[in-house]
Amino acid sequence: MSEEQFQDLLYDVKDGVATVTINRPDRLNAMRGLTFFELAGAIEMAGLDKSVGVIVLTSTGERAFSAGGDVKWEKDGGLAERHMSFNPRNVHEAVRHSGKPVISVVKGYAIGMGNHLAYCCDLTIAADNAIFGQNGPRVASPAEGWIVSYASRVVGAKKAREMWMLCRRYPAEEALAMGLCNVVVPMDKLDEEVAQWCKEILSLSPTCLRIVKASFDSDVDYLRDPAPNHFQKLIAPDYFTTPESKEGANAFTEKRQPDFMQFRK
């Protein structure tokens, strides 16, 4: 994949830093299948580039790092065949296996996949307008496996379950106290802060950093699923053909509260 092939991303390499920018501001940088594919490819490309010492994952605009999965794309069936086509989880695997520190830079909303992608990066720098949180149960879009359970390592078991099971929103300073980000800075200081962190990383031994990163990742290897979508296929194999799976997306696009009570009868 070359730089010119990206549609949903911007990709730039300068002075040892590869910057991968989610570029769908009209959709609050929400991600569709193509976005997942391109993100994994861009991160892998940066990982293989010997001139790159650190990868920065960011977004266009100040309103959102990413609002998560594109609900319109999901409503049209985008997730229904994710175990047979491109799985969003491949982006997280690309981050883990890049061999280089990956910094997520969060401006505005980091919701759903925007949130768990940010906390699965090695480091997270947040602007003071950042808001973190999960959305899956609210819009009937299931996430599963290690990208969920790893949250316990980041914020602790009780807070992780609260975050995933209540779908609350956490402003930047609260997210910092929880451990969802490393630092919070004013928006006008964000680029300066990111540049400083990159400078410090680039001054260190790249091989040692690769070993350290692999060591951290080895600690959670047992969390990785035996197969993609294992829990969804085990617990609810026909989920994406059910009315429940459509209710959340329909409610979101119709700007109403979803009615999930009907599925508890």
pLDDT in tens, 76-127: 555 555 544 567 788 999 999 999 999 999 999 999 999 999 999 999 999 9
**Position 71 pLDDT exceeds 90:** no
Backbone region of residue 229 per phi and psi (left: phi > 0; alpha: psi in -120 to 50; beta: other values): left
CATH of the domain at 217: 3.90.226.10
Q: Is residue 260 part of a domain?
A: no
DSSP codes of every residue in 10-44: EEEEETTEEEEEE--GGGTT-B-HHHHHHHHHHHH
Q: Is residue 264 part of a domain?
A: no
Q: Which domain holds residue 93?
A: 3-188+201-222
pLDDT band at 4 (very low <50, low <70, confident <90, very high): low
Q: Is residue 242 part of a domain?
A: no
pLDDT digits (tens, 9 = 90+) for 8-49: 999 999 999 999 999 999 999 999 999 999 999 999 999 999
The residue with greater pLDDT, 178 or 3, is 178
What is the total count of domains within the chain?
Answer: 1
Q: Is residue 230 part of a domain?
A: no
Give the closest residue to 94 by CA, choosing from 74, 122, 133: 122
Q: Is residue 249 part of a domain?
A: no
| Arithmetic mean of pLDDT over the chain | 88
> β-pairing, 169-171 with 183-185?
unpaired
Helices 33-48 and 89-97: crossing angle in degrees, nearest 10, is 10
Q: Is residue 241 part of a domain?
A: no
pTM, rounded to two decimals:
0.86
**Position 145 pLDDT exceeds 60:** yes
Distance CA 88, CA 95 (A): 12
Q: Is residue 229 part of a domain?
A: no
Q: Is residue 184 part of a domain?
A: yes
pLDDT band at 264 (very low <50, low <70, confident <90, very high): confident
